[in-house]
Chains A and B, each alone.
Chain A
Amino acid sequence: MAKVFIDKDKIVQGVQDPAKKFLIALGYAIEAQAKRNQKEVNYIDTGRSMASISTNWTGSGMDRKAMTAGGVAEGIYGIGQPQGEEFTVVVGSNVFYFPYIELGTKKIRAGAMLRNALAKYVARIRGAK
């Protein structure tokens, strides 16, 4: 059995399909792990990028905007709603410099917060009996 910690309070009440509910809960679990990973690698200055790691899904109604270089935070932080007809859950950040700390540059080692969080949960699901 895969162990996935589900924070039921965070699941939008409007979602009825159990499969969709599971995917959303999984998204939140990966988000939480990614934030723990960011603390672990100690890539925190103002906390802006960590706060921006978020979960969204098709039909959530949370139409957030991407933040550009020098942009001012408006409304809530977070990744935008995925487009298209297929139900999709996304976990990510809308802060413009996030790819650089996730993937690294010449000056900083890749933090791999999101990818390691995803790998952890993929391994748990793979190990489900």
Chain B
Amino acid sequence: MTEVDTAIESRFDATSGAPAVHNALYIAISGKMYNEEAPEGIDIEKESYITFHELNAQPEYNFSSSFEVVSYQFNIFAFTITALDSFFTKLKDLYDNCTLTVSGYTSVYMKRKQSRRMPVENYWQRVVEYEVYLQKT
């Protein structure tokens, strides 16, 4: 869902205070979090970064309201386990149980479902899955 993509990006890019400061994840990964895939110009062989994308969306209904349950996956790529774990901790701090600002919906929750760390060629990756529960406004 494009609205959720935008909400996830906005939370990542958000600043606070004066002078404006980004969150810990943004600073640690140097702002390199991308929807779907890393853009041209990123040296994927040398740089750490994060990608995220939607896995699936399921509608839910009760007597009076419509909901969307949307699953999202984040892939964190790093060259050491220490760096990978550090990015993961900061990702959890930013998104676990957060309230997203989603156009046309009230964000009910963003819940981490599962994650898995795995080696790939010369780098490490952690796959983190979230469930975003939205109520239509």
Contact = CB atoms under 8 A, between A and B. Distances in A.
Interface of A: 99-100, 103-107, 109-110, 112, 115-116, 119-120, 123, 126-127
Given A99-B118, A115-B55, A104 B73 contact: yes
Contacts of A99: 116, 118
Majority secondary structure of chain B interface residues (helix, strand, loop or mixed)? strand
Contact of A119 (B53, B55, B60, B75): B55
Given A112-B56, A116-B55, A103 B118 contact: yes
7 A-B pairs with the lowest CB-CB distances in the bound complex, closest first:
A123-B58, A103-B127, A112-B55, A119-B56, A106-B44, A116-B56, A105-B120
* Size bracket of the B interface: 20 to 34
Interface of B: 36-38, 44, 53, 55-56, 58, 60, 69, 71, 73, 75, 77, 116, 118, 120-121, 123, 125, 127, 129
A109 B56 contact: no
A109 B36 contact: yes
Given A107-B44, A123-B60, 14 more contacts: A103-B73, A103-B125, A104-B73, A105-B120, A105-B125, A106-B38, A106-B120, A109-B53, A110-B55, A110-B127, A112-B56, A115-B56, A115-B71, A119-B55
